[in-house]
A and B are shown apart, each in its own frame.
Chain A
Amino acid sequence: MGELIRTVVADDHYLVREGTRQLLEMSGEVTVVSTVGSADELLDAVRRLGPDVVITDIRMPGGEWRQGFEGIDASHRIRSAHPEVGVVVLSQFSDALFAFELFKHGTEGFAYLLKDRVGDLDELLGAIRAVASGGSVIDPKVVEGLLARRDVRGQREDLTTRERDVLREMAHGRTNSAIARALHLSVSSVEKNVNSIFTKLGLENSGDVHRRVAAVLAYLGPDPS
């Protein structure tokens, strides 16, 4: 195993913060260099400690931030000042609104997971690794929400149920073989679905997982209007 990924954990709730820290350190892949309880402290810790990845809550009252968006706004600040730092946002909301907010300037280096993923260490570690290398991850449930939102706005994609499943996994940052394992499909079947999705959405397919997620998220992202 190589070097440990250095992280800062931000959550206004002490038990969540410490629980997350213990879980991450237990993995042997990640070290938590600091845990903080507010957006201001988070920015300060990033400046001082220069972590590889920050893991932050969305709602952290206090400071001169947009109320209810403190974690997201701090993430944007971090990514623009320190482009090498990846951000994993842990959200208690599956509402599309927060995903739109997070991805409004681009998806690179951002992961958006629902908070209950702290009970799924592999998922969490996967997202941390992805953003550490500039990739993106989005929770399948949130992808579902984004797709539903497009439906409601009348921008309906005629994706099959299978294609929707594959799209969710793709947005999750998985490779074709990982998707095949997760959905109990053959790799060739996954490839066929991926191609079909890209054709239907009018996107250019890419072998690179990161770019593929970015393309899908850019497509699902907020309406420019």
Chain B
Amino acid sequence: MSSRLVAGPLALIAIVGSVTGAILETGLPVPATHWVYIVASLPLPALGWLLAVRRPELRYGWLLLAAGLCFGLGTLGTGLSLHGFIGIGSRLSALFAGFYGLSWIFIPLLFPDGRLPSRRWRAVAWISGVAVVVHGAGILLSGFTLHRPTAVLSGPGQVAMLVSAAAQFVTWIMAVIVFAGLLVRWRRSSREERGQYAWMVGGAAATAVGAVLMMAFNLGGLRSPVIGLVGIVAVAGGLPAAIAAAIVRHRLLDLRVGIRGSRLHLVFDLRPTADEVLSDLGTVLEGTSEPVEQVSRLAAAVRTGLELRWAAVTLADGTRVVSGRQEGRAVLELPVRGGLGRIECGPRESGRLTKVDRRLLQALAVPAGLAIQSAGLVTRLVNAQEAERRRIERNIHDGVQQQVVALIAGLELARATGAGPDMLTHLREQARQTLEDLRELAAGIHPSSLTQGGLVEAVEERCSRLPVRTTVTAPPPLRSRRFSDEIEGAMYFTVSEAVANALKHAGATTIEVRLTQEDGRLRATVADDGKGFDPHTTGRRGLATLADRLDALGGGLGVDSEPGRGTQVNAWVPVDG
């Protein structure tokens, strides 16, 4: 069920209770002092509601909401009992015991994230809980009413009142212990958290001072309305004010106040959720195909997403990109999916890394792994492309170009010496050889049969020039099918490389190439009867680059071989239809 559906009505009940109770107490028109009371009672349920709605997984918001509810219903009870609804009125006003217990003990104790500081505090929490309940129950059972505070109670009523007072005394002691504990935590807190604790200490102290003032007002001789007012404002508003300040100033509970849009609405802007960070990361990574840039944007996304002082991404090859200025050791390290690298996190700008942060980081590790993987893939593809260009350049430079130079020299010789038919025939053959080499070179770059005839045609052409018995089988419909240049190129060169390996390394005597298309996959299988190899110990040579190309198309490459059992290369890419 939506936390909104629960928190909203609860907060509304609390606020309506406070307002109605206060108005009932004084009647209309409400004097100015009571307006202050009403206003002071609002922050607690409001803040509780906000936290419970935005971060329902945190207990703290619900805690504040419960305290606000106790306060509001208590006030309502007071107002009702003054108007003769004594039964219901006194029962409701007994909830003030809950308000004091929560605001003096549990709110400081469970600060800042709704969890006990340590297991040792469990005793304090239990004793306090029982004391608060007994305190409230005692008031209920004693028959004490605000309507007649000085009325003499019955015997059992006196016992109940006594037990209730003892319980209240226990809660005071517990409150002091909790406050002392808060002071200790404040002193020991790290730099990031010190501000948050300082505000809480201030809030708790203000509440305590407010309580003393109220007691002086109610019981002692200080009947100045100003003192009573200051006391009630401090009691009801001290903690929410401190918590609000800690949120605004120190990002307590990962909340912050920001201005959203151009309309200058002051809103509570939450930390981005995992989904938001992920979708941002997607956009950010889409903006660049530069691999190192991608990784550096990834690091930046982690840093801003988790509000870290710095974040670093380290790749398996040792490349390390840091976003922000690295100081000290990483507080959190996480391997990215696929083990291709790791993410290191520096400390938060303020506050500690919470469980939520860790979850967020774990969620980030998946796309981070993919980003790193694709960055590596892009790098390898670019490198392979460069290597291929260099190879072609070398071939032109050392091969064809030299042949043409030789041809020119030969022609010059022929011109100078008045060459006979033999020499000219020789030169013609030389030129033919050059042409032949050029033809092969061009076919190696991109065969014309692939451009003009498609995959099956080009594979048949390539295989028809092999010195060993080679068979190509392909279903007739595939013969006329054309695919994108990338797909045809990747598949053709994979087959080409596989048959070249079968000849060069495997010493195959027959090669079988099979091209099929089914279930949305275009598949090429090259099987030879060569000597085979152990795929675990032997690198995939030229096929590695082609595996990357297929990978980039969403396909894959498998090599199945065993010494003495031949080799089978399987390549596939997804295609339509």
Contact = CB atoms under 8 A, between A and B. Distances in A.
List of 6 A-B pairs having minimum Cβ-Cβ separation, nearest first: A148-B464, A97-B453, A95-B449, A152-B464, A225-B476, A68-B452
Contacts of B431: 116, 119
Given A68-B448, A149-B464, A153-B472, 7 more contacts: A92-B439, A95-B447, A116-B432, A145-B461, A148-B465, A149-B461, A151-B470
A202 interface: no
Contacts of A92: 439
A138 B106 CA distance: 99
A219 B464 CA distance: 17
Contacts of A93: 439, 448-449
A149 B460 contact: yes
Given A92-B439, A119-B428, A152 B472 contact: yes
A154 interface: yes
B2 to A, nearest CB: 62
Interface string B424-437: 00001001100110
A96 interface: yes
A97 B461 contact: yes
B464 A145 contact: yes
B439 A94 contact: yes
A149 B428 CA distance: 29
A69 interface: yes
A175 to B, nearest CB: 25
A204 B461 CA distance: 29
A17 B443 CA distance: 24
Interface in A139-180: 145, 148-149, 151-154
Interface in A90-110: 92-98
A71 to B, nearest CB: 12
Nearest to A92: B439
25 contacts: A68-B451, A92-B439, A95-B448, A95-B449, A96-B461, A96-B464, A97-B448, A97-B449, A97-B452, A97-B453, A97-B461, A116-B436, A119-B431, A119-B432, A145-B461, A145-B464, A148-B465, A151-B469, A151-B470, A152-B463, A153-B460, A153-B472, A154-B471, A225-B476, A225-B479
Nearest to B454: A97
A67 B442 CA distance: 18
B113 interface: no
Contacts of A145: 461, 464
Query: By DSSP majority rule, is chain A's interface helix, strand, loop, or mixed?
Result: helix
Interface string B464-489: 11000111110010010000000000
Contacts of A94: 439
Contacts of B551: none
A89 to B, nearest CB: 14
A98 B432 CA distance: 20
A98 B447 CA distance: 13
B192 interface: no
A55 B53 CA distance: 84
Contacts of A96: 460-461, 464
Given A95-B449, A97-B453, A97-B461, A152 B470 contact: yes
Interface in A117-148: 119, 145, 148
A11 to B, nearest CB: 15
A93 B448 CA distance: 8
Q: Which interface class (under 10, 10 to 19, 20 to 34, 35 or more) fits B?
A: 20 to 34
B457 interface: yes
Interface string B92-123: 00000000000000000000000000000000
B527 to A, nearest CB: 14
A154 B473 contact: yes
B545 to A, nearest CB: 25
Nearest to B453: A97
Contacts of A154: 471, 473
Interface of A: 68-69, 92-98, 115-116, 119, 145, 148-149, 151-154, 225
Contacts of B435: 115-116
Nearest to A66: B452
A85 B378 CA distance: 55
A225 B479 CA distance: 10
Nearest to A68: B452
Given A68-B448, A97-B449, A152 B460 contact: yes
Interface string B128-161: 0000000000000000000000000000000000
Nearest to A145: B464
Contacts of B479: 225
A64 B479 CA distance: 25
A82 to B, nearest CB: 26
Contacts of A68: 448, 451-452
Nearest to B473: A154
Most buried by A among B428, B431, B432, B461: B461
A91 B439 CA distance: 11
A116 B436 CA distance: 9
Contacts of B469: 151
Interface in B395-436: 428, 431-432, 435-436
B146 to A, nearest CB: 97
A151 B447 CA distance: 20
A3 B421 CA distance: 29
Given A152-B471, A152-B472, A154-B473, A95 B432 contact: no
Contacts of B457: 97
A95 B460 CA distance: 10
A151 B472 CA distance: 9
A17 to B, nearest CB: 17
Contacts of B476: 225
Contacts of B447: 95
A116 B447 CA distance: 19
A98 B448 CA distance: 10
Nearest to B512: A154
A115 B434 CA distance: 13
A13 to B, nearest CB: 13
A93 B465 CA distance: 14
B120 to A, nearest CB: 82
A151 B469 CA distance: 8
A115 B439 CA distance: 11
Contacts of B448: 68, 93, 95, 97
Contacts of A225: 476, 479
Contacts of B471: 152-154
A148 B461 CA distance: 9
A117 to B, nearest CB: 10
Identify which of B432, B448, B471 gathers the most chain A CB atoms within 10 Å of its CB.
B448
Contacts of A115: 435
